[in-house]
Amino acid sequence: MQDAERPTNLIHAWHLERTTPASRLKKRPRLERLGKASLDAMATAVEAAFFFGLGHIPENLSYAVAPSVGAAQRAGAGRRSIANMQLFLGPDGREPEDWQSLWAQHKRHVGITAIESIHFGSMSRDRLLAQVALEGEEHLANALKIGRGVMLFINHLGNIGAIPAALGPRGYDISITGNAMPRPYLEKKVNELYQHGGVKRVLIGEQLPFKAARVFRRNGVFAAFIDYTVVGRLNHWLPFGRAELNTNIGPALMAQRSRAPILYASCRRLPGFGHCLTLHPPLGCPLTGDRTLDALAATQMAITRLAQEILERPDQWWPWDCAQLRPRPAQRTDGPAPSRPTGDRPPTSGAR
């Protein structure tokens, strides 16, 4: 069996640059490097002014600029995002104006979430606990009693800043992996947010399997995103809504090596500006002894749950502009495709 197709052309260049060893990177021409440095400097100045401004106006007034903030963050991404929305949701039942309305709701959500996450970084512990409720905490406690740590499958639905805000202040030893931000200033701000909540941040490409194993050995929680891949290894196309999602089975493999239970987490917005992080029972996938197939099964079960949640609130999924989606095999015209089982089971052939 062969590796799944790797559409690296859909992975942002700066992600590839941050996750590729320096020895394999092609050095850019001097003029191109100068131009990039100039653009990064201007973007950093704008971002610094934005963070400074939000910190000096009343919180309730800061949300008035959410639509503009979301529009700026999603500038130029409308066509691809709506195409992915149509691919996942299906084109039936919505008029062109309905897709534009959904796109506007998504931009507003992105803006609100960005502002909320900034405020999370300055809230007291008591306020963070009040701002982000936690459901299903007993599932995490029971899993930790086994003593092999916990792998937490997380995603980009809702406010991803609510994940460290919910678990860090409650005293959990949690490390969250993520891709490096495109500019050092943004990376610094994300690190500050995590540190404020007592959460450790682990970047993709920085000896990730070794660091995950170390977290499991001390019976900690290691959280990894399953809905947005930024590397070219261990990616597989799996059923996702009415489409297929190219996703990474690395987190499931890391959990298997340490025999750590896998829990799925989901975040939803509450009335007002509150949030609730729900921890679900451990994924009950039967083990076959084939690590790849078992990792595929666990990942498929999680993204099937995620797809069901996105159907309820599609405006709140962040990666619409860069998620790697394609039609299901029956919808494609690029030649015969292998049959795919339905439900939570992944394909049993064509990828390893």
Measured CA to CA, the distance from residue 27 to residue 25 in angstroms comes to: 6
Report the pLDDT averaged over residues 28-57. Answer: 74
Predicted confidence (pLDDT) per residue in 70-109, tens digit? 898 888 899 999 999 999 999 878 899 999 999 999 999 9
User: Are 171 and 177 a contacting pair, CB within 8 Å?
Assistant: no
pLDDT band of 27, cuts 50, 70, 90? low
CA 204 from centroid of its chain's CA atoms: 12
Report the pLDDT averaged over residues 106-134. Answer: 89
Predicted confidence (pLDDT) per residue in 337-349, tens digit? 433 433 343 433 3
State residue 1's pLDDT score.
Answer: 34
State residue 332's pLDDT score.
Answer: 54
pLDDT over 90, % of the chain = 48
pLDDT greater than 60 at residue 16: no
Question: Between residues 294 and 37, which one has the greater pLDDT?
Answer: 294
User: Are 110 and 158 a contacting pair, CB within 8 Å?
Assistant: no
Question: Between residues 246 and 39, which one has the greater pLDDT?
Answer: 246
In 10 A of CB 77, how many CB atoms?
A: 17
pLDDT greater than 80 at residue 140: yes
Angle, to 10 degrees, between the axis of helix 96-120 and the axis of helix 66-73?
Answer: 100
State residue 183's pLDDT score.
Answer: 73
Is the model's pTM score more than 0.85? no
Using only C-alpha atoms, the chain has a radius of gyration, in whole angstroms, of: 20
State residue 208's pLDDT score.
Answer: 86
Q: Which residues of 246-271 are buried (b: 16+ CB within 10 A; e: fewer)?
A: bbbbbbbbbbbebebbbbbbbbbbee
pLDDT over 70, % of the chain = 85
Domain extents for the chain?
8-331
State residue 338's pLDDT score.
Answer: 38
State residue 59's pLDDT score.
Answer: 77
Angle, to 10 degrees, between the axis of helix 96-120 and the axis of helix 30-54?
Answer: 70
pLDDT band of 167, cuts 50, 70, 90? very high
State residue 333's pLDDT score.
Answer: 47
State residue 41's pLDDT score.
Answer: 78
Q: What is the mean pLDDT of the chain?
A: 82
State residue 331's pLDDT score.
Answer: 60
pLDDT greater than 80 at residue 307: yes
User: Are 117 and 193 a contacting pair, CB within 8 Å?
Assistant: yes
Q: Where are the beta strands (DSSP E) in the chain?
A: 132-135, 150-154, 174-178, 200-203, 221-225, 235-240, 243-248, 262-269, 275-279, 325-327
State residue 347's pLDDT score.
Answer: 39
State residue 105's pLDDT score.
Answer: 96
pLDDT greater than 60 at residue 196: yes
Whole-Å CA distances, 172 to 118, 157, 218, 222, 298? 22, 22, 12, 10, 24
Predicted confidence (pLDDT) per residue in 209-268, tens digit? 899 999 999 999 999 999 988 777 889 999 999 999 999 999 999 999 999 999 999 999
